[in-house]
Amino acid sequence: MTWLVFAFAVWALGWTVNNWLARLRPNRAITLLVPIIFGATLLGIWEGVVQGLEISPILLPAPTMIAQRTAASVDILWVDFVQTVIKGALSGYVMGCGGAFLIAIAIDRFPFLQRGLLPVGNFVAALPVVGMAPILVMWFGFDWQSKAAIVVVMVFFPMLVNTVQGLQSSTAMQRDLMRTYAAGYWVTLFKLRLPAAMPFVFNGLKIGTTLALIGAIVAEFFGSPIRGMGFRISTSVGQLALDLVWAEIFVAAVAGSAFYGFVALLERRVTFWHPSQRK
C-alpha cells in the first residue's frame, strides 16, 4: 500500500513540477529538465506499482532490480554489445549507407535510372525487409557477417531514396549560377549539390540508425553464435530470466539513443546553415 501511495506521490510531484516549469520562460536548461523529470517520474511510478501490487518479477521486474542485474552482468552485456552493435550493426550500417550514397550519385547522372529505380526503391523501402533475415543467415552463416548483411539491405533503400531526393534539391537558379561560373559537373557536385543534399542525407542516416540495430538483433533470432543481444534476449526469455532481458534492452536503448544522438550531432555540425538547425 505504501508503495502505491509512493507511486501516486511521485506522479503528482512530477506533474506539478513540470507544469510549473513549462510555464516559465523556456530556456535550454528547462527544455532539458522537463523530459528528464518526466522520465524519472515514469520510473518512480513503475517501481511503486511493481512493488505495491507485488507483480511477479517474471512478468515485470522493477527498475531497481534491472539496474542491479545490469551492474552485475557487465561482462556478458559487453560481449553481446560488441558482437551485435559493433560487429553486426555498425559495420553493416557503414557499408549500406556508404554504398547507397555512392549509387545514389551514380543514379543521379542518369535520368533514366532515376525514373526507373526511384519508384522501385520507394517500394522496397516500405517492404518488411526484416523478413530477409533467415535467407541472409542461410547465405552468410551464423556469425556477424549475416547480421551485417541484413543491416546493409535494411538501411540501403531509405538512404538511397533520400540521397537521390537530396541531390535534386538544389534549385534551377542555383545550378544556373554554377554554370555561369563555368563550373563543371564535379565542381557543381561538391560545391553545390552535395552540400544542398546533406539535410536529406542525414534524414536517411538517422532512419538507418534504428533500422540497423533492429536488423542486427532480429537477425540473431534466426541463428547466431552463443553471444549477441538478440541471442541473449531469446534464450533468456526461454529461461524466464526477465531481468537479464531488460538489462539487454536497457543496453540496446542506450546504444540506440547514443547512435542516433551522434548522427544528430554530426548533422548539426554539417548542416548548420539549414533553417531547422538555426536557433
Candidate residues 13, 26, 53, 74; the one interacting with another protein per rule CB under 8 A: 26
163 touches another protein by CB under 8 A: no
Which CB sits closer to another protein, 6 or 250?
A: 250
How many Cβ atoms sit within 10 Å of the Cβ of residue 91? Answer: 19
Residues 6+ apart with CB under 8 A from 32: none
Which CB sits closer to another protein, 72 or 126?
A: 126
Candidate residues 86, 116, 226, 266; the one interacting with another protein per rule CB under 8 A: 116
Which CB sits closer to another protein, 35 or 98?
A: 35
Question: Residues 185-224: x/- map of binding to another protein (CB under 8 A)?
Answer: ------------------------xx--xx--xx--xxx-
98 touches another protein by CB under 8 A: no
241 touches another protein by CB under 8 A: no
Closest CB 103 distance from another protein, rounded Å: 13
Closest CB 210 distance from another protein, rounded Å: 6
Binding residues for another protein, per CB under 8 A? 15, 18-19, 21-23, 26, 30-31, 34-35, 37-39, 58-60, 112-113, 115-117, 119-120, 123, 126-128, 130-135, 137-139, 209-210, 213-214, 217-218, 221-223, 229-230, 233-234, 237, 242, 245, 248-249, 252-253, 256-257, 259-261
